[in-house]
Amino acid sequence: MSEQVMAAAGGGAVLAADGTPLKERLQKTLRRRKLVAAGLVLPLGAFVFITFMFPIVLMLFRSIDNPVINENMPLTAAILEHWDGQDIPGEEVFAALAADLAQARETKEIGRVATRMNFEYSGVRSVFTSTARKAKNMKAPFKDALIKADEKWGEREMWVTLQRMSKPYTSSQYLAALDMRYDIDNNIVMQDEDRQIYVMIFGRTLWISFLVSALCLLLGYPVAYLLATLPLKYSNLLMIMVLLPFWTSLLVRTTSWIVLLQTNGVLNDIFVWLHLIDDEGRIQMIYNQMGTVIAMTHILLPFMVLPLYSVMKTIPPSYMRAALSLGANPVTAYVRVYAPQTVPGIGAGSLLVFILSIGYYITPALVGGRTGQMISNFIAFHMQKSLNWGLAAALGGILLVGVLILYWAYSKIVGVDNMKLG
C-alpha cells in the first residue's frame, strides 16, 4: 500500500506507511506548504517594504533627526548640555564655540550649520558664516572677541536656540508644522499671527479634498448608473468616454483647463457671447481655489465612476421590478431598494478619490494660484527650494497621521468590510 495507516501495537499511535507518526507527517506537510507560500510572497513583500514602508519610516525619522549642530559643533554641544540657560554662558563655552566655528569652516560644514540655525532663529545665517571667517584668528578672552564680531552672541536667545539645536533629536519641526515654536524659556507658544500658515493650509487641503470627493460622487453616480443599466452597445461607448482621460497626459489635461478657464479663455468668451456677463465682468476661474476644484474633479472623476459601476453591475434588475410589482413607485423603489446596495461602491469611490485628492500636487501647482495651493505644494517647496527637509518630513508625517485617523473614523462609521472595488 502506498500510504498505509495502522495502529502501533503498544500505544495505539496512528502511523503512516513509512512508520512515521501521522500527526508529525501532517505537520511537516503543512510546514512545507507554508514555506512555499512565504517564498512566493517574499518578493512582493520585499518590493512593498523597499518602495513604500521604508520611505515612510525614513520620512518619519527625518522629521525628528537633528544631527547638524551636534556633529559639526561637538565641543559647544557637549558644554551647553549642562548649561542652565538662565544667563549668557561663561568663557569656556565661548572658547568652544570659536574652536567649533573655525573647524566647521575648514571642513566646509559651516553653511549647513548656519542654515539649520537660521530655520529656528531667523537672520542668524550671516552671523555664523561671518564669525566663522574670523574665528581662526581670535584670541582669549573669546567672549569679548565673539560679541565684538557680532552683537547677537551676547543675546541669551541665541544661546538658548543653540542649546536646543545641539540635541540629536528635536520636535521643533512638528511644532513649526503646527504653527508653534519654542520661546526663549523653551515654552511652546504659537507663532506670530503673520507667520501662521500651515494649519490654514491643512484645513484648506481637507476642505478641497472633501469638496472634490462630493462633486465626483454627484457627477459620477448618474454616469455609473447609466453604464450599469444601458444596453451593452451603448454602455461600451460610454465606458470608452469615461476611460478616455486615462489615455491623455495629466499635464495636458491640466493645461487644457487653463485654456478653458482663464479670463480670456473659451468659457468666458462663451458667457460674453451669450450676454450672461459683460466684457468687463469676466469671471476669474483660474489661478484660485475654483480652478483647483474644477480641474481635480475632472481628473479624479473616473476613480469614482469605476467602483460605483462595478458594484451597480452586480445588482440584479429583478429587485427593482419586484419592488415596483409590490406597489412602490419608481422613486421609492430606487431609494429603498437600489440605492442602499450601492453604498459599498460609494464608500470605495469616495475613499479612493479623497486619498488621491489630499496628496495632489501637479494640478494645484499649475492652476491653484495663491488660494488654491495644498499642503503637498508646500512639502515640495521645502524639499526643492528651502531645503528644509525636516519640516517637509514633519508636514508629510502629520498628513499621514491625518489620513490614518480619517480612515479609522470611516472604518468605525461605515465599515471597511462594506467597501467594494468590484
Going by C-alpha positions, the residue among 196, 175, 182 that lies closest to residue 121 is 182
Q: Tell whether the model's pLDDT for residue 21 goes beyond 80.
A: no
**CA–CA separation, 363 vs 258, rounded Å?**
10
pLDDT in tens, 69-94: 999 999 999 999 988 888 889 999 99
Long-range Cβ pairs for the range 49-56 (8 Å, 24+)? 56/400
Which pLDDT score, from 0 to 100, does residue 69 have?
93
pLDDT band, very low/low/confident/very high, at 5 (cuts 50, 70, 90): very low
CA neighbours closer than 13 Å in the CB half-sphere of residue 77: 18
Question: Can you state the angle between helices 125-135 and 142-149, rounded to 10 degrees?
Answer: 130
- What's the whole-model pTM score? 0.84
Lowest mean pLDDT among 57-61, 150-154, 392-396, 416-420: 416-420
| Domains located in the chain, CATH noted | 6-64 (no CATH), 68-170 (no CATH), 198-418 (1.10.3720.10)
Nine cell digits for residue 63 = 522629521
Nine cell digits for residue 372 = 488654491
Contact 74, 103 (CB under 8 A): no
In whole numbers, what is the pLDDT of the chain averaged over residues?
88
Helices then strands, counting H and E runs in the chain, come out as 21, 4
**CA–CA separation, 347 vs 352, rounded Å?**
8
Amino acid at 381: F
CB atoms under 10 Å from CB of 332, counted, come to 12
Q: Tell whether the model's pLDDT for residue 146 goes beyond 90.
A: yes
Which pLDDT score, from 0 to 100, does residue 7 have?
47
60-75: buried (b, 16+ CB within 10 Å) or exposed (e) per residue? bebbbbbebbbebbeb
Which pLDDT score, from 0 to 100, does residue 16 have?
63
Which pLDDT score, from 0 to 100, does residue 15 have?
66
For the segment 131-144, the average pLDDT, to the nearest whole number, is 91
pLDDT in tens, 236-286: 888 888 888 888 888 888 888 988 988 888 899 998 998 888 888 888 888
Q: Tell whether the model's pLDDT for residue 11 goes beyond 60.
A: no
Nine cell digits for residue 227 = 453604464
Long-range Cβ pairs for the range 339-343 (8 Å, 24+)? 341/311, 341/315, 342/221, 342/308, 342/311, 342/312, 342/315, 343/414, 343/418
Q: Tell whether the model's pLDDT for residue 1 goes beyond 50.
A: no
Amino acid at 265: G
Which residues lie across from 7 on neighbouring strands? 14
pLDDT band, very low/low/confident/very high, at 407 (cuts 50, 70, 90): confident
Which pLDDT score, from 0 to 100, does residue 299 have?
92
DSSP state for residue 279 in the 8-state scheme? G
**CA–CA separation, 156 vs 366, rounded Å?**
44
Residue-wise DSSP of 90-118: -HHHHHHHHHHHHHHHHTT-HHHHHHHHH
Going by C-alpha positions, the residue among 289, 117, 283, 291 that lies closest to residue 200 is 289
Q: What angle do CA 28, 33, 37 make, to 5 degrees?
A: 150
